[in-house]
C-alpha cells in the first residue's frame, strides 16, 4: 500500500506502528487531543491497513537484524583457536592463510612484529605474530540471554526473611499487620 494521501493520516499511522497510543498518535499527527476521533481514525480501513503494512515491514527488518546479530555472535561464541594455529614440533604456529571470512569475524586483533634476534653474524630475522579472538564467553552469554536460557529469579522478603504483607489503604487510613 502506498503512503496515505492525507499527510496527517500517514503520520498517525506511522506513530501507531511505532507503538504510540491512539491519543498520542493523533496529537503527533497535528490534531487536537480527542480520544473518540483518534479511535475512529484507527478504525478507518486505509489507516488500519497502512499501520499493518508498516508494522509488518518493521518486523521483517527486525528479524533480519536479529538473525544477523545472532549469526555474528555465533561466529565469536563458537570460534576455536585450533582454526588459526597449527602445532609444529610441539610449538604453536599461527597460520591465517586458510582462515575463512566467518572465522575472521571472530578475530579481535592481529599484531605482527618483525625484529632481529641476536647480534652481528648470529643475528636472525624473526617474525612474531600474536592474535586475539573476541570475548567468547560474552558472546555465548548474549546468545543465551536472547534464547531465554538464563532466568534470573528475584525474591523479595521482609525483615528476618518473612513474607511481605501488603498494606491496604481504606478511606485514607492504612491498615495492615499491626
149 within domain boundaries: no
Looking at the structure, tell me whether residues 61 and 90 fall in a common domain. Answer: no
Total number of domains in the chain: 2
Considering the domain architecture, whether residues 63 and 88 belong to the same structural domain is answered as: no
Report how far apart, in Å, the C-alpha atoms of 82 and of each of 47, 53, 98, 175, 177 are: 56, 47, 12, 67, 64
Sign for the pseudo-dihedral over CA of 9, 15, 20, 23? negative
How does pLDDT run across 41-91, given as a tens digit for each residue? 999 999 999 999 988 887 777 777 788 889 999 999 999 999 999 889 988
pTM, 2 dp: 0.49
Q: Return the H-helix or E-strand segment holding 23.
A: helix 22-28
The domain boundary residue, chosen from 55, 73, 91: 73
163: in domain: no
Together in a domain, 57 and 12: yes
Q: In this structure, what C-alpha cell is assigned to residue 88?
A: 609444529
Q: What is the pLDDT of residues 22-34, one digit of tens each?
A: 999 999 999 999 9
Domain residue limits at 105: 81-133
| 48 part of a folded domain | yes
Same domain, 54 and 94: no
Same domain, 60 and 30: yes
Amino acid at each position: 500500500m502506498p503512503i496515505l494521501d492525507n499527510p496527517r493520516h500517514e503520520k498517525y499511522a506511522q506513530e501507531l506502528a511505532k507503538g504510540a497510543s491512539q491519543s498520542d498518535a493523533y496529537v503527533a499527527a497535528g490534531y487536537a487531543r480527542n480520544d473518540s476521533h483518534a479511535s475512529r481514525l484507527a478504525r478507518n480501513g486505509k489507516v488500519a491497513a497502512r499501520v499493518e503494512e508498516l508494522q509488518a515491514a518493521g518486523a521483517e527488518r527486525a528479524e533480519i537484524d536479529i538473525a544477523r546479530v545472532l549469526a555474528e555472535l555465533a561466529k565469536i561464541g563458537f570460534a576455536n583457536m585450533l582454526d588459526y594455529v597449527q602445532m609444529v614440533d610441539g610449538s604453536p604456529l599461527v597460520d591465517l592463510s586458510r582462515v575463512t571470512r566467518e572465522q575472521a569475524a571472530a578475530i579481535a586483533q592481529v599484531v605482527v612484529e618483525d625484529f632481529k634476534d641476536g647480534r652481528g653474524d648470529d643475528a636472525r630475522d624473526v617474525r612474531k605474530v600474536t592474535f586475539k579472538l573476541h570475548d567468547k564467553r560474552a558472546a555465548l552469554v548474549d546468545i543465551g540471554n536472547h534464547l531465554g536460557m538464563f532466568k534470573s529469579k528475584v525474591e523479595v522478603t521482609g525483615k528476618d526473611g518473612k513474607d511481605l504483607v501488603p498494606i491496604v489503604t481504606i478511606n485514607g487510613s492504612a491498615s495492615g499487620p499491626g
